[in-house]
């Protein structure tokens, strides 16, 4: 039961992450800092300002008060608002927005995706054009039970990932409404819409 990132994110094969296209999303994020450091080595010096393993494209805008922690790559045309918090090894493709009060941890975000404000996304892969309305969350840890292993649902069967930290794979153009929650292990097909205040949990569907 294979979960292919390219089935959810159509630009995967042509992206900077193409070398890891055969990994499951939880395998990709499990070593996010190391993978971002690999990508840092290949960035064109003329296009990025790089300091202490934090690379910001010269066309990106980072407001004063944003917290950036290495390793980190912020792509062309991105906007990072005051109060945003990026940590744990993150990669942002072009024209992404991380709004005020939004936290992104150990995640890979494809072009044009937006965390509007007051979001948390942990250990996840977000496709192109994904939009998270205010307060929506992609949780990455099963706090409610003794066994912390995150499961995913494949062909209506729960499959253990072997990881205790994995958020979700959000396919291209997915939408999370305000204050919606995706529980750990979510696999959202392209174009999926989670309504405002809704919970998506693969273990209780």
From CA 129, how far away is CA 140, in angstroms rounded?
21
From CA 157, how far away is CA 133, in angstroms rounded?
30
Task: Verify whether residue 117 is a known catalytic residue.
Answer: yes
C-alpha torsion 70→65→123→8, nearest 10? -110
Two tokens, residue 27:
């395998």
Residues with Cβ < 8 Å from 150, sequence gap 6 or more? 26, 140, 141, 142, 160, 161, 163, 164, 165, 166, 184, 185
The Cα angle at residue 183 between residues 96 and 158, in degrees rounded to 5: 120
Catalytic, out of 10, 57, 95, 117? 117
Radius of gyration of the chain (CA): 16
The runs of H, that is alpha helices, within 86-194 are none
Q: How many CB atoms lie within 10 A of CB 194?
A: 21
Residues taking part in catalysis: 117
């Amino acid at each position: 039961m294979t979960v292919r990132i390219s089935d959810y994110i159509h630009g995967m094969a042509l992206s900077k992450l193409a070398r890891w296209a055969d990994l499951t999303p939880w395998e990709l994020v499990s070593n996010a800092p190391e993978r971002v450091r690999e990508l840092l080595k290949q960035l064109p010096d003329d296009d990025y300002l790089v300091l202490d393993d934090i690379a910001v494209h010269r066309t990106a805008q980072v407001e004063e008060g944003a917290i950036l922690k290495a390793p980190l790559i912020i792509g062309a045309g991105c906007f990072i608002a005051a109060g945003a918090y990026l940590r744990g090894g993150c990669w942002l493709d072009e024209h992404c927005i991380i709004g005020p009060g939004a936290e992104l941890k150990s995640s890979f975000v494809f072009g044009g995706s937006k965390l509007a404000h007051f979001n948390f996304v942990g250990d996840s892969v977000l496709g192109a054009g994904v939009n998270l309305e205010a307060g929506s969350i992609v949780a990455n840890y099963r706090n409610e039970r003794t066994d912390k292993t995150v499961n995913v649902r494949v062909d209506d069967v729960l499959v253990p990932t072997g990881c205790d930290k994995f958020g979700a794979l959000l396919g291209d153009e997915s939408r999370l409404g305000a204050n919606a929650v995706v529980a750990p292990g979510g696999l959202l097909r392209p174009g999926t819409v989670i309504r405002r205040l809704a919970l998506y949990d693969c273990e209780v569907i």
